[in-house]
């Protein structure tokens, strides 16, 4: 008998649209394969609908704040029902770009140099700090957003113009810009799923490059790497996945420059849309979309 799956999607983050798309596509695939499925928003109806539907597993299809930062996971823990993807602690660590970077650095995983900016310096002071610690160009981004929301590459001439766009955040990360190839590596459970290279026509693989089909980002699989380097990137992704205590599926984003892999971040709730990378990587390795979903469901747990 097929299981009853409750899918939580939507939410209030800047990635709401992507979350709804993930939820719809996962639901469609599950229904096609005779699962009983309900989709619910993470609002006041969640607890009542959960009691009425009595799901075997909750599929967390949320992205961004409140969905992959430990918040919804804390609520799900109280239900005692297995839920997909990472738990409370690992979700909160992975979403916090500063905290995850500290873990990468401590465990000798190469990541771009950075510092925090709290909107407390003049333009000249900030420029001097960047030139002293990192050098231009730099990347600026919020500490706790996903899908490259509000991420900008900045030169000395436009740094304050771009920083003004992030004024609603209390603090942001100013990070060394690493040129080179963009390669993403996926892990599911204890399995190294595979990697894919991206060649965006935009400056980098930003929100538009990820989710706008007209952006025409080129996806390259298999990735043109030596066996040694391919194993290295997969081992680094697995190491990050394990260090942070992730479960289910994760996708680690790397830059490959001058023979070195720089880990930018790890994503605990990668998209499951028609333009998403993890389903594409899985398909290349002979894992259908439904099989991928079932592997995620199999790794569901109530453990933190």
Q: What is the pLDDT of residue 150?
A: 80
Q: Is the pLDDT of residue 148 over 80?
A: no
Q: Is 234 found in the same domain as 104?
A: yes
> Residue 19 corresponds to which tokens in the numbers above?
């979350």
Task: Compute, in degrees rounded to 10, the torsion defined by CA atoms 86, 88, 146, 35.
Answer: 50
Average pLDDT, the chain: 90
Of 153, 176, 199, the position where a domain reaches its end is: 176
Distances (CA, A) of 50 to 98, 154, 178, 249: 35, 46, 45, 24
Q: Is the pLDDT of residue 206 over 90?
A: no
Q: Is 207 found in the same domain as 158?
A: no
- What is the mean pLDDT of the segment spanning 182-188? 97
Q: What is the pLDDT of residue 303?
A: 54
pTM score: 0.90
- Partnered with residue 142 across adjacent β-strands are 172
Q: Is 230 found in the same domain as 156?
A: no
Instruction: Give the contacts of 304 (CB within 8 A, at least 6 positions apart).
Output: 73, 77, 87, 88, 89, 90
Q: Is 162 found in the same domain as 44?
A: no
- Partnered with residue 186 across adjacent β-strands are 194, 251
Choice between 208 and 257, residue whose per-residue pLDDT is larger:
257
Question: Is residue 75 one of the residues assigned to a domain?
Answer: yes
Distance CA 268, CA 265 (A): 10
Query: In 172-188, which positions are buried (b, 16+ CB within 10 angstroms) versus exposed (e)?
Result: bbbbbbbeebbbbbbbb
Residue-range definition of the domain harbouring residue 14: 4-85
Q: Is 169 found in the same domain as 54?
A: no
Task: Assess contact for 112 and 176: CB atoms under 8 A.
Answer: yes
Q: Is 290 found in the same domain as 192?
A: yes
Q: Is the pLDDT of residue 210 over 80?
A: no
Residue 57's nearest CA partner among 299, 303, 297 is: 297
Question: Is residue 303 one of the residues assigned to a domain?
Answer: no
- What is the mean pLDDT of the segment spanning 285-302? 91
pLDDT band at 169 (very low <50, low <70, confident <90, very high): confident
Q: Is the pLDDT of residue 42 over 80?
A: yes
- The total number of structural domains that make up the chain: 3
Q: Is 54 found in the same domain as 12?
A: yes
Residue 292's nearest CA partner among 274, 304, 280 is: 280
Peptide bond into 8 cis (omega under 30): no
CATH of residue 145's domain is 3.30.1490.20
Distances (CA, A) of 31 to 26, 39, 92, 110, 202: 9, 12, 31, 42, 37
Q: What is the pLDDT of residue 209?
A: 46
Q: Is the pLDDT of residue 89 over 90?
A: yes
Question: Is residue 185 one of the residues assigned to a domain?
Answer: yes
Q: Is 194 found in the same domain as 105?
A: yes
Question: Is residue 304 one of the residues assigned to a domain?
Answer: no
Q: What is the pLDDT of residue 207?
A: 46
Choice between 301 and 30, residue whose per-residue pLDDT is larger:
30
Q: Is 234 found in the same domain as 103?
A: yes
Measure the N-to-C terminal CA separation of the chain; round to a whole number of Å: 28
- What is the mean pLDDT of the segment spanning 184-213? 76
Q: Is 289 found in the same domain as 188?
A: yes
CATH of residue 199's domain is 3.30.470.20
Q: Is 119 found in the same domain as 73?
A: no
């Amino acid at each position: 008998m097929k299981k009853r799956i409750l899918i939580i999607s939507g939410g209030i983050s800047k990635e709401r649209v992507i979350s709804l798309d993930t939820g719809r596509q996962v639901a469609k695939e599950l229904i096609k394969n005779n699962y009983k499925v309900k989709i619910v928003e993470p609002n006041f109806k969640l607890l009542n609908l959960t009691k009425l539907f009595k799901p075997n597993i909750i599929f967390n299809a949320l992205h961004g704040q409140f969905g992959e930062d430990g918040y919804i996971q804390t609520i799900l823990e109280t239900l005692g029902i297995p839920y997909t993807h990472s738990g409370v602690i690992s979700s909160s660590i992975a979403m916090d770009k500063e905290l995850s970077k500290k873990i990468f650095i401590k465990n000798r995983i190469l990541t771009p140099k950075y510092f925090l900016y709290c909107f407390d310096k003049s333009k000249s002071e900030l420029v001097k700090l960047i030139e002293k610690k990192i050098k231009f160009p730099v990347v600026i981004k919020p500490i706790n957003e996903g899908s490259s929301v509000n991420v900008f590459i900045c030169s000395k001439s436009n740094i304050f113009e771009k920083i003004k766009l992030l004024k609603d955040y209390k603090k942001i990360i100013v990070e060394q810009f690493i040129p080179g190839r963009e390669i993403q590596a996926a892990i599911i459970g204890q399995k190294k799923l595979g990697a894919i290279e991206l060649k965006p026509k935009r400056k980098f693989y930003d929100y538009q490059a990820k989710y706008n089909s007209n952006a025409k980002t080129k996806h390259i699989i298999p990735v043109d790497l030596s066996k040694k380097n391919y194993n290295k990137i997969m081992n680094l992704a697995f190491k990050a996945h394990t260090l942070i205590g992730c479960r289910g599926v994760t996708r680690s984003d790397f830059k490959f420059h001058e023979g070195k892999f720089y880990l930018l971040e790890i994503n605990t709730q990668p998209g499951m849309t028609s333009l998403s990378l993890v389903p594409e990587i899985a398909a290349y390795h002979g894992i259908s979309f439904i099989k991928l979903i079932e592997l995620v469901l199999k790794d569901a747990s109530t453990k933190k």
